[in-house]
């Protein structure tokens, strides 16, 4: 079934794209959730009419994603945790911890955008991939330090 996307969906495409999906996915999820419309003459005419506004929104979204990527590449997130023997953490550091620390530093980011294959369980520096926009990722440095031993260089961002 052919549909027109009303918003950007990571697995399908950008807003305004004509895509083919399975009929059940379109009928049961995309169309009821107002994420897409079925292709017909009226929908194609509306798409043609709104194409310029959609292009402007895409450009704005891309600029915002590039700005966020540039901001995150230069940032180092420092998280202090209790450690046990052999510098192993009690517990772990996950995406929620990283997102909370970024929020404290003034960067609002959804924790689902942080692509962490498994929680961090060791102290030290780790590079984490962050999804900042449609098909655009950047890297973020996360520094895990022992609690109570934060140095001035570790707090520097």
Q: Are residues 80 and 123 in the same domain?
A: yes
Question: 39-43 long-range contacts, Cβ below 8 Å, gap at least 24?
Answer: 39/2, 39/3, 39/4, 43/4
pLDDT per residue as tens digits for the range 48-84: 898 889 889 889 988 988 888 888 888 889 998 888 8
The number of residues in the chain equals 157
Question: What is the domain-level CATH number for residue 147?
Answer: 3.10.430.100
What does residue 31 show for φ and ψ, rounded to 5 degrees?
-70, -45
Which of 51, 67, 83 is the C-terminal boundary of a domain? 67
Q: Does the pLDDT value for residue 155 go beyond 70?
A: no
Q: Are residues 134 and 86 in the same domain?
A: yes
Q: Mean pLDDT in the chain?
A: 86
pLDDT per residue as tens digits for the range 84-120: 877 788 888 999 999 999 989 888 888 888 999 999 8
Answer yes or no: pTM beyond 0.85: no
Domain hosting residue 131, numbered range: 75-155
Total domains in the chain come to 2
Rounded Cα distance between 30 and 137, Å, is 25
């Amino acid at each position: 079934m052919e549909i027109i996307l009303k918003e950007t969906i990571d697995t399908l495409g950008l807003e305004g794209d004509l895509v083919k999906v399975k009929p059940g996915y379109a009928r049961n999820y995309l169309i009821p959730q107002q994420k897409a419309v079925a292709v017909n003459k009226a929908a194609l005419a509306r798409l043609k009419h709104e194409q310029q506004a959609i292009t402007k929104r895409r450009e704005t979204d891309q600029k915002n994603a590039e700005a966020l990527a540039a901001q995150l590449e230069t940032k180092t997130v420092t998280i202090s945790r209790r450690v046990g023997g052999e510098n192993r953490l009690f517990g772990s550091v996950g995406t929620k911890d990283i997102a909370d620390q970024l929020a404290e530093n003034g960067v609002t980011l959804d924790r689902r955008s942080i692509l962490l294959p498994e929680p961090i369980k060791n102290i030290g520096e780790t590079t984490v991939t962050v999804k900042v926009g449609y098909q655009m990722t950047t890297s973020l440095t996360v520094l895990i330090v022992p609690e109570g031993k934060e140095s001035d260089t570790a707090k520097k961002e």
